[in-house]
A and B are shown apart, each in its own frame.
Chain A
Amino acid sequence: MIAAAARESRVVGALGRRALTLQFRRAQLLMPTFVLPLFLLAVIASGTSAGRDLRDFPEVSSYLGFVVAGTLLQGALLAGLTAGIAMASDIEGGFFDRLLAAPVRRTSLVLGRLAGTLGLAVLQMAWFLTVALIFGASYPGGVLGAVGAAILAALTAVGIGGLAIAIAIRTGSMNLMQSIFPFVFVLLFTAPAFFPRDLLTPTLHDIAAYNPLTYVVEGARGLLQDDASLGDPWLGLAAAVGLAAFATGLAVLALRDRARRT
């Protein structure tokens, strides 16, 4: 029993390591995950910092410190999406068959891929928070707040990764995965990623309440700014964990289904 668990954890570890290694060897995956969110952050921070002067904009120590939570969320979305793209590429290229022909639990194949996503997301979040710090963001929540925010975002990456993997497993198509890209921004902008929820248009405001990412980004903001009025970290954790668990389940189901269909 314990031996079997140790064995599967080695499998998950090896697959996670491979996923992460490839992530860094493929420039076309590195750009969107590490650079793109910072571009958006720069644009938003320079163009809309006037937003801070709006009535109702909450008192925060730095605008950059406020919007970086949105960057964490965007990074998580893109990390999750690349997990799906990498999975589709494995399926199209036949590498996934190698994994399927090995005596490992199908769940481990999903968890291995998501372990890579988790590792990637942790590195991303550390990178984003550091870059923002260098450019003047302040984190009243301190190191603990930053770590907490990074964990929320990394768990979200796992959740989005699970959804993306489930789609990749069901379709096995790289093209389809890449065409989902714009959809990521829909998720991002229907959550109060860069503005407080109260400043969103009424429609968006209502939609945001149903977007689990809303609670993640608000929770992360609450942690970074050490201000519970900006967001409840526990609610954020519940949303992130819930999404991750749900999405992982979907991906495992997709894999079981695929095995039955082929």
Chain B
Amino acid sequence: MASRSSSSHPAVAVRGLERAFKGGIKAVDGLDLEVPEGEIYGFLGPNGAGKTTTVRILVTLLRPTGGEARVAGHDVVSDADAVRRNIGVALQEAAIDPLMSGVELLRMQGALHGMRGSEARGRATELLERVGLTDAGGRRVGQYSGGMRRRLDLAMALVHRPKVLFLDEPTTGLDPTSRNALWREVRGLNDDGTTVFLTTQYLEEAEQLADRVGIIAGGSLVAEGTPAELKSRVGEPTLHVDLAEGADVPAARRALSTVGPLVDCADDARVAIRAARGKATVPDAIRALDDAGIAVESVEVVSPTLDDVFAAVTGSTLEGAGGGAADGETAGVGA
């Protein structure tokens, strides 16, 4: 009954959350975050950062060893059932029975949420259409491609029209087309009012989808903000030009400096500039070099990666992130 007033609290509220596993690994270590209703929150972090552990706690599959978490206004431990009624979950490994058909799985999921047979059937048809699996619905899931499985998994998470949707790395392993389709779907759901908590290792995904991004490393948040805010900490994309053999490097540097500010480059045959407009900078750069009569071997635009965001907020690389969590916190606050 407490859920009547649910619109007044955040969709996800996490305070001092901790989870230690046997052997002393603290997968989540003092996590604080808050996701208001209606937001798409991107939870970004490298392998082993604690994303899945956090999600599993939020969806009541794992108990925290410290701190607290509330989802849709309900405590994930003491009021787990109320949480379960309000959430949809698509876990990292989409566990779907290869021997069942899409329709069968959706109907079973409907029954798990208290639907009657006819209601569950109707909802299954509706959702299959929504995720573009109408034709494949009767086929066994074992024959589905990775992208189809992901979409079915999403459809299953939506059966009961959840308020808060948890997606753990929904697009890992998908090709660009499938990834785009899934992004569109997630945006559509959010437009309909669903709060989305999504984990990802891809900066681009967070940028494309998330209203706000939290970066997790070593089990705690090292930075948080809108994608634009985070990017501004890292800086802009850079344009790298590899010069042809024997090219006049100083002349190339002069020519390119008219296009954008020069960036230091370790390689002598390479010149780099900041490219605020990303790939749109390429034609200008080529023209400037051409006008100066400089032969170019290749050009590439390098956008900041998660690694760069990491380096910027934590002062360490992704590989070193596990151990660098403590520095990360101070750097994150200071940045």
A residues in contact (CB < 8 Å) with B: 7, 10-11, 13-15, 17-18, 21-22, 25-26, 93-95, 97-104, 260, 262
Chain B residue with the shortest CB-CB distance to A105: B81
CB–CB A98/B95 < 8 A: yes
Q: Which of B100, B104, B111, B113 has the most CB of A within 10 A?
A: B111
Q: How far is the CA of A100 from the CA of B80 in the complex (A)?
A: 10
Contacts of A17 in B (CB 8 A): 108
Q: Which of A18, A93, A104 contacts B100 (CB 8 A)?
A: A18
CB–CB B107/A25 < 8 A: no
CB–CB A13/B91 < 8 A: no
Give 7 A-B pairs besides A18-B100, A103-B81 with Cβ atoms closer than 8 angstroms: A13-B111, A94-B91, A98-B89, A101-B60, A101-B84, A101-B87, A103-B113
Contacts of B60 in A (CB 8 A): 100-101
Q: How far is the CA of A30 from the CA of B85 in the complex (A)?
A: 36
- Total CB contacts across the A-B interface at under 8 A: 68
Contacts of A11 in B (CB 8 A): 111-112, 114
CB–CB A93/B111 < 8 A: no
Chain B residue with the shortest CB-CB distance to A97: B61
Contacts of A14 in B (CB 8 A): 107-108, 111-112
CB–CB B95/A95 < 8 A: yes
Q: How far is the CA of A58 from the CA of B12 in the complex (A)?
A: 71
Contacts of A103 in B (CB 8 A): 81-82, 84-85, 112-114
Q: Which of B95, B97, B114, B115 contacts A97 (CB 8 A)?
A: B95
Contacts of B115 in A (CB 8 A): 10
Chain B residue with the shortest CB-CB distance to A109: B112
Residue B33 CB within 8 A of the other chain: no
CB–CB A95/B97 < 8 A: yes
Interface majority SS on B: helix, strand, loop or mixed? loop
CB–CB A95/B114 < 8 A: no
Contacts of A13 in B (CB 8 A): 111
CB–CB A21/B112 < 8 A: no
B residues in contact (CB < 8 Å) with A: 59-63, 81-82, 84-85, 87, 89, 91, 93, 95-97, 99-100, 104, 107-109, 111-116, 156
CB–CB A262/B112 < 8 A: no
Q: How far is the CA of A11 from the CA of B111 in the complex (A)?
A: 6
Knowing A10-B116, A95-B96, the reply to whether A101 touches B89 (Cβ < 8 A) is: yes
CB–CB B95/A102 < 8 A: no
Contacts of A99 in B (CB 8 A): 112
CB–CB A94/B108 < 8 A: no
Q: How far is the CA of A98 from the CA of B61 in the complex (A)?
A: 9
CB–CB B111/A100 < 8 A: no
Q: Which of A18, A26, A103, A104 has the most CB of B within 10 A?
A: A103
Q: How far is the CA of A93 from the CA of B142 in the complex (A)?
A: 14
CB–CB A262/B62 < 8 A: yes
CB–CB A101/B81 < 8 A: no
Knowing A14-B107, A14-B111, the reply to whether A22 touches B84 (Cβ < 8 A) is: no
Contacts of B87 in A (CB 8 A): 101
Q: How far is the CA of A99 from the CA of B95 in the complex (A)?
A: 11
CB–CB A102/B113 < 8 A: yes
Closest 5 CB pairs of A and B: A94-B95, A14-B111, A103-B84, A102-B112, A25-B99
Min CB gap B115→A, angstroms? 8
Q: How far is the CA of A25 from the CA of B98 in the complex (A)?
A: 10
Q: Can you pick out 29 interface pairs between chain A and chain B where the beta carbons lie within 8 Å of each other? A: A7-B114, A10-B114, A10-B116, A11-B111, A13-B111, A14-B108, A14-B111, A18-B100, A21-B104, A22-B97, A22-B100, A25-B99, A26-B99, A93-B95, A93-B97, A94-B95, A95-B97, A97-B91, A98-B91, A98-B95, A99-B112, A100-B61, A101-B87, A101-B89, A102-B112, A103-B81, A103-B85, A260-B63, A262-B63
Q: How far is the CA of A97 from the CA of B115 in the complex (A)?
A: 20
CB–CB A94/B100 < 8 A: no
Contacts of B114 in A (CB 8 A): 7, 10-11, 103
Q: How far is the CA of A15 from the CA of B89 in the complex (A)?
A: 19
Chain A residue with the shortest CB-CB distance to B94: A94
CB–CB B59/A101 < 8 A: yes
Min CB gap A218→B, angstroms? 38
Q: How far is the CA of A21 from the CA of B98 in the complex (A)?
A: 12
Q: How far is the CA of A177 from the CA of B113 in the complex (A)?
A: 30
